[in-house]
Amino acid sequence: MSLPLTKNRHLHRFHGGLHLPDHKLESTLLTILDVGVPPLLTLPLQQHIGHIAEPVVEVGDQVMKGQLIARAEGFVSAPLHAPSSGRIQAIEERPFPHPSGLPTRAILIETDGLDEWGPLPEPLPDFEQTNRDLLLERIRWAGIVGLGGATFPTSVKLSPGKNKKIHTLILNGAECEPYITCDDMLMREQAERIITGLAVIRHILSPNECLIGIEDNKPEAIAAMREALKAAELEATEIIEIPTKYPSGGEKQLIYILTGEEVPSQHIPADIGIVCHNVGTAAAVADAVIDGKPLLSRTLTLGGDALKQAQNVHSPLGASIHWLIEQIGGYKTQAKRLVMGGPMMGVPLRNDDYPIVKGSNCLLALSPEQAPPEEPARPCIRCGECARVCPVELLPQQLYWHTRAKDFDEVQSYDLFDCIECGCCAYVCPSYIPLVQYYRYAKSEIWSQEEEKKKADLARQRHEARQARLARLEHERKARLRKKKEALEKRGAGKADDPKKAAIQAALKRVEARKAAQTATAAPNGDST
């Protein structure tokens, strides 16, 4: 029996957070544009958290749309499929939208414009009658990862382990970062697909209840989702309007808002019986299970006032940003900053020659007026605004001081690793201190120190093992020698039974006897002379 859809639920408020100008109207004026297929697709092999995928095609191969081009390596990994038909042009290092700025190996497909599908696995519309492992296998095959931007392989998240009972499934439609509207538009236009995906995930996890959290600045999306949910008649599923406040779409923040439960530090939500998926991920799950289609494309927002017109596009993975921006009318002014992701947490890009990957929810082209001024940081006046807005209730300025002093032990004692890098602290800082940059620096320093320590430990262990082995060998050699010597001594003492020796001794005796006999006979002879 289904619960009323508008049950009054007590929502919880997380500490801090910001009410940001949301800039969401600009990109929601037009419907999602299907951009078609670009002449070239660049598909980095690592578009997910986990092990890099391994190519299964070679340069020059013809591929069909949906054909596997790189397989998952290991449990936490995701495969890649050709988003369109064409020829493999190259497999080489290409720039990749990642904070490190380092390039990664990618497969380049020169498309043939036919967009011809290859063979696909059998659709599973009766998923409720399908074995769960088969569904998980299908989701894994499809290469689905968290499309909210975290890109953690979805099949892994859906396999929490036998001993972890999931009681609550949460669908994240909060979309709290300014400018980004791809989930909003997806919910407005494809709510049934999301609800179908939710039904599949729910069948796999069999939770007690499902909660769909959407910020209250998306009334159209909420209405569309309510409609779709009503039509689907899903039990114990509720759409919950949450107050708009950044970062309510952070996984741990959303779980707290909806359930009042805090995911313990260093733990994942499954540890407290909760699993949370993005609405876009649910839609991709529906495609994979109901239609047998792998993840080949995604919806993303192209925004920022350097563009002529902001809009959401449905784009094949691997399309270049440059090409996409051309499809929606191009630039209005030169972009001062290009950002993959939202303005609060996105990755800055050097140019628009980067490809769209599975985690790309937004591309921002900020004009010089919109981009923050590049002023040198001023001294911290300890005003405490940063601590007031921190959603994790850290003390950002203490982290900052200790990072500056390179006192990384102290930084960790102020729980650096609980920082979600949401950017609230840096946003409000009146001294323009790039706080998040300091925390990233501290984290990477600590990681590399730990790596060094691991290496040193390993080297020490190896050295110690070698010393021990040498000592053991020496000991064994000595023991062997000693044994031999002892054996020899023993033999030398009581060895009458050695036939050779006995023979020699017998021979010696015989010789002596003969000599004695000869002397005896010779003497009388001599005497006789």
Partner 1 sequence: MTTLVSSPHDWGRHRVQQVMLQVLLALTPGIAAMFWYFGWGVLINIVIATASALGAEALMLRLRERPLQPAITDFSAVVTAVLFALSVPPTLPWWMTVLGMLFAIVIVKQLYGGLGYNPFNPAMAAYVLLLISYPVAMTHWLPPSVLSKETIDLFDSLRIIFGGTPPASGWDAITMATPLDQMRNGLGQDMMISEIRESPVWGDFGAKGWEWVANWYALGGLWLLYKRVIGWRIPVAMIAGLVVIAALFSLGNPESYPHPLFHVFSGGIVLGAFFIATDPVTASTTPRGQLIYGFLIGVLVYVIRTWGGYPDGVAFAVLLMNMAAPTIDYYTRPRVFGHREDEHE
Q: By the criterion CB under 8 A, which residues form the site for partner 1?
A: 14-15, 18, 20, 99, 101, 178, 252, 256, 262-265, 267, 335-339, 341, 343-351, 364, 366, 370-374, 378-385, 387-388, 391-395, 397-398, 413-415, 418, 421, 423, 426-432, 434, 436-437, 440
Structure tokens at 157: 């998240």
CB of 428 to partner 1, least distance (A): 5
CB of 347 to partner 1, least distance (A): 7
Which residue lies nearer to partner 1 by CB, 130 or 431? 431
Which residue lies nearer to partner 1 by CB, 293 or 337? 337
φ/ψ region of 47 (left if φ > 0, alpha if ψ in -120 to 50, else beta) reads alpha
Which residue lies nearer to partner 1 by CB, 381 or 504? 381
Residue (of 435, 439, 359, 310) closest to 26 by Cα position: 310
Q: How many CB atoms lie within 10 A of CB 481?
A: 10
Which residue lies nearer to partner 1 by CB, 387 or 446? 387
Beta bridge partners of 529: none
The answer to whether the CB of 265 falls within 8 A of the CB of 418 is yes
What are the DSSP E strand ranges found in 288-384?
297-303, 311-316, 337-340, 347-349, 362-366
Structure tokens at 91: 């497999």
Q: How far apart are CA 247 and CA 301, in angstroms?
A: 18
Which residue lies nearer to partner 1 by CB, 408 or 432? 432
Give the angle subtended at the CA of 63 by the CAs of 60 and 64, to the nearest 5°. 160
CB of 253 to partner 1, least distance (A): 8
Q: Give the SS3 label for residue 104.
A: strand
Which residue lies nearer to partner 1 by CB, 242 or 366? 366
CB of 273 to partner 1, least distance (A): 15
Q: What is the dihedral of CA 313, 319, 322, 328, to 10 degrees?
A: -20
CB of 453 to partner 1, least distance (A): 24
Q: How many CB atoms lie within 10 A of CB 179?
A: 28
Distance of CA 459 to the CA centre of its chain: 29
CB of 440 to partner 1, least distance (A): 7
CB of 329 to partner 1, least distance (A): 20
Q: How far apart are CA 71 and CA 27, in angstroms?
A: 35
The phi and psi torsions of 53 (rounded to 5 degrees) equal -75, 155
Which residue lies nearer to partner 1 by CB, 52 or 338? 338
Which residue lies nearer to partner 1 by CB, 418 or 452? 418
CB of 49 to partner 1, least distance (A): 19
